[in-house]
Structure 1
């Protein structure tokens, strides 16, 4: 390591001592200036790679299905496998950062993620791709907790808001931009690679990030006296798997009894884990002293609610725009650009001017803006069945502004009181809490959305079926046949929109089958889209209340955070 990355206390060891809990004016960063800024860019690159791979695959699933003859179960596991491995490894990886060194763990994560991306892009069978997605999720979990820890090591408490503002921009890009990048890569069909490009694009970026990280990142001193708590690692992994797996798979399988049994078992195992950590005095996986800090506890609650609401909102708004309104994947991705623009803009402003002047109130104003944006979305969607991108521009920008004002100070307040030698453990806990919150939010919001979709379909068909019958009679179909087609239309649409995949009509329920040779396929397709549009419109408005309630609860919880 070059001399400019050393402090007097580490001149002989060549490492940088992790900062102890000290007043801000006593903090001495291991590197400063342009080198520190470049180091932040490097770690955020790893963060973005992980976020993109969570969202980008969803867009490419149809292409993957066609390319390697994947079944519906395979496509579910391509998404679920990554999520399960990622969630179950976060706390362990965060603790390993404390024990063996943050820089080393980050490099392992980047290298492993890059290699598995290469292999995934070359996979020939569904089974190979599923296994590689599991490994890729584990590598992402090794990489991501170190990002939070490195920000703590590189920046004094009063400076971290700016770093977390940059992180919020990366989060917005990964969340909103993922589908857009996925659509561009799959439709461009670069060099005939098709869906493989979504994995292979990670390879040059990952190699560049690995080389830059070796050059730029300082190392926190490894604590060789401590050992990984293997019993705790097994318990927390089992607890997370038992909680997350049914949340990922539950809706697809209509929430059978085993999903509830698994979640209850997960809570029980988690209780055993907590008791084990309390009684273990030698190198616990999660030091219980972390929970003595009110800011850390309050931060976990607010992060859980805030991130779960944001991610679940983007899930349902994407489904609504693509299926309910008929947007292409690319157009749906473009609709989120105002959010992407507002997050870094207001994140920068929040770190530079708002939080330093009004403290916690700035974060709370951000949550108020998010609540306002959800009400604006309700108004726009409820008043316009065929909503346009221009109508979404203002609420998207307001929501992004709210996120930009909320995320940077929230992370700063959550980790402000955590000692440097426990930064890895704290980062692992925050990330695991974040991931479970997102998974639970998506499961709850998705279940609500599709339940409302099924519940609203009878109202939609009651509105559309009489118009369909009139259209059929107008083109020469007999009254009895028009009535029969209308009845079948109603039953088919209610069955389709009440099923696990609302895009797939039941057997014999496509437009040609319903027309039964009457030559009215175009009429039936148009009325089917109208009925579907009404159902999706009403379901979307109702589901937005989930986001409103979550943001309100986060606002209430924010009063437990420090004022400054």
Structure 2
């Protein structure tokens, strides 16, 4: 095994800081383009279907190839795979910024998603391999904070760049911003990031790659496209076909000497429970901020930047309590996650009570409950990432990280699909006016996320109870 020994604290933390840049960029580009969507459509003359593909094409290749990206890191080196993913992501960002037409932008976004799929699993793998076990809670706390800032920052940065219209370039700076960051990250990674790979990995399981990619496509594509398409028959056919496809993948992996995913990983309770827990958490995280953004902009008429400022206090709260959780978990263990799950559920319940209780829908009415949600999220989300990988053998770090990253993306797609049904069924401006309709839609969405958060709380109680 070529993993660098864990000797000096400064070396792992410099490496972690570099890969965190990749995590931030990968997540940022999931959100920054949402704000830029109307400007892109107007400038390129994109149809509604083309705009949807500009938004979801990135998410699709991102979700489908995460496990493969993690395994490539095991085989060929996590540093090498991270640098390759960052280079592809940066080049694809240039292609996005220069795209002369909608189809060119769609192709570049697909490549961007592939680059992100190579980068993100290496983040978890580097933390697992390089950071000593007693320091991982803090590393995952920083990672969770970075992800939270990227979630909110995507819309804030997007709103600022679109509003600034730098040199009359319109929406294109939302992609140009990736280029200098990417180049600096590549240079720093080449110099400071130690190389590591799995000692027993010999070759890429191509049958596993093909079968899993098909299975994930059958699952992710209808979830991403279903609501916009009106849930036609083919979306249900794809979802039904995903079940035997995943069963075939398990069969293939059991018969492969060097599998893409070692099924025995799921024999460990932290991993077996943690993967559905992470999927459940991410089913409510990103989807809720999406309907919140719609409610603030379409319901209250706020600009994108104004909407971002509404949940900026929640982002700051999430950052603080992610750091607090990293210090509490080594002492109190699962009780921190239990407390976070309960507070998160209460935050959604109070938001629903405020919005459905007849009070006027204003930013001041929801900011306190959003901050309460972030208290719970900070205590739950970042420790849950460590809970999944805490007992993973470093030799399986890339494999396990790919599965974890995929759970996040599949959970995100599932949450967006389900909350979209709830929100748009309840959002009816024609009968109640836009502000009242948005309050009702967001309130019903809060009821839905309260139910999902309750499921997450149950899963937390199934994790091992030991401390640390």
TM above 0.5: yes
Query: CA offsets, 1:229-275, max 9 Å, x none?
Result: 11110000001111111111111121111110011111211110111
Tell me if 1:362 matches 2:324. no
1:269 to 245, 254, 257: 245
On the 8 A contact 2:336/2:379 being kept in 1, the answer is yes
Partner of 1:326: 301
Partner of 1:7: none
On the 8 A contact 1:325/1:386 being kept in 2, the answer is no
3-state SS in 1 of match to 2:171:
helix
Partner of 1:545: 447
On the 8 A contact 1:318/1:332 being kept in 2, the answer is yes
Tell me if 1:377 matches 2:351. yes
Tell me if 1:438 matches 2:400. no
Tell me if 1:65 matches 2:41. yes
Tell me if 1:388 matches 2:362. yes
Distance 1:155 1:216 in 2: 15
Distance 1:37 1:60 in 2: 34
Spell out the pairing of 1:277-292 with structure 2 (5 A cutoff): 277-280=253-256, 282-292=257-267
Tell me the CA shift for residue 385 of structure 1: 6.0
Distance 2:156 2:97 in 1: 19
On the 8 A contact 2:88/2:112 being kept in 1, the answer is yes
On the 8 A contact 1:118/1:199 being kept in 2, the answer is yes
Q: Using a 3 Å threshold, how does the CA distance of structure 1 residues 388 and 554 change in structure 2: closer, same or farther?
A: same
Task: Please report the TM-score for the alignment, with normalisation by the length of structure 2.
Answer: 0.96
- Which deviates the most, 214-223 or 543-552? 214-223
Q: Using a 3 Å threshold, how does the CA distance of structure 1 residues 117 and 295 change in structure 2: closer, same or farther?
A: same
1:338 to 295, 309, 313: 313
Tell me if 1:533 matches 2:444. no
Distance 2:130 2:372 in 1: 31
3-state SS in 2 of match to 1:250:
helix
Tell me the CA shift for residue 376 of structure 1: 2.0
On the 8 A contact 2:200/2:395 being kept in 1, the answer is no
Distance 1:156 1:410 in 2: 18
Q: Using a 3 Å threshold, how does the CA distance of structure 1 residues 263 and 225 change in structure 2: closer, same or farther?
A: closer
Distance 2:154 2:353 in 1: 27
1:162 to 106, 116, 138: 138
Distance 1:221 1:198 in 2: 34
Distance 1:73 1:357 in 2: 51
Partner of 2:97: 121
On the 8 A contact 1:162/1:408 being kept in 2, the answer is no
On the 8 A contact 2:149/2:319 being kept in 1, the answer is no
3-state SS in 1 of match to 2:195:
coil
Distance 1:327 1:385 in 2: 19
Distance 2:184 2:360 in 1: 44
Tell me if 1:112 matches 2:88. yes
Distance 2:400 2:3 in 1: 19
2:75 to 99, 119, 134: 99
Distance 2:168 2:359 in 1: 38
Tell me the CA shift for residue 390 of structure 1: 2.6
Bigger RCO (CA 8 Å, 6+ sep): 2
Query: CA offsets, 1:260-297, max 9 Å, x none?
Result: 001111121111011111122x1101011211101101
Q: Using a 3 Å threshold, how does the CA distance of structure 1 residues 392 and 327 change in structure 2: closer, same or farther?
A: same
Query: CA offsets, 1:37-59, max 9 Å, x none?
Result: 22222111110101110000010
Distance 1:316 1:305 in 2: 17
3-state SS in 2 of match to 1:541:
helix
Spell out the pairing of 1:115-514 with structure 2 (5 A cutoff): 115-221=91-197, 223=199, 226-280=202-256, 282-352=257-327, 354-383=328-357, 386-454=360-428, 461=431
Consecutive aligned runs of 4 or more in structure 1 exceeding 4 Å deviation: 222-225, 383-386
On the 8 A contact 1:99/1:222 being kept in 2, the answer is yes
- Which deviates the most, 311-320 or 198-207? 311-320
Task: Please report the TM-score for the alignment, with normalisation by the length of structure 1.
Answer: 0.80
Distance 1:427 1:110 in 2: 17
Distance 1:221 1:320 in 2: 46
On the 8 A contact 1:350/1:405 being kept in 2, the answer is yes
On the 8 A contact 1:306/1:554 being kept in 2, the answer is yes
On the 8 A contact 1:385/1:534 being kept in 2, the answer is no
Tell me the CA shift for residue 98 of structure 1: 0.8
On the 8 A contact 1:250/1:256 being kept in 2, the answer is yes
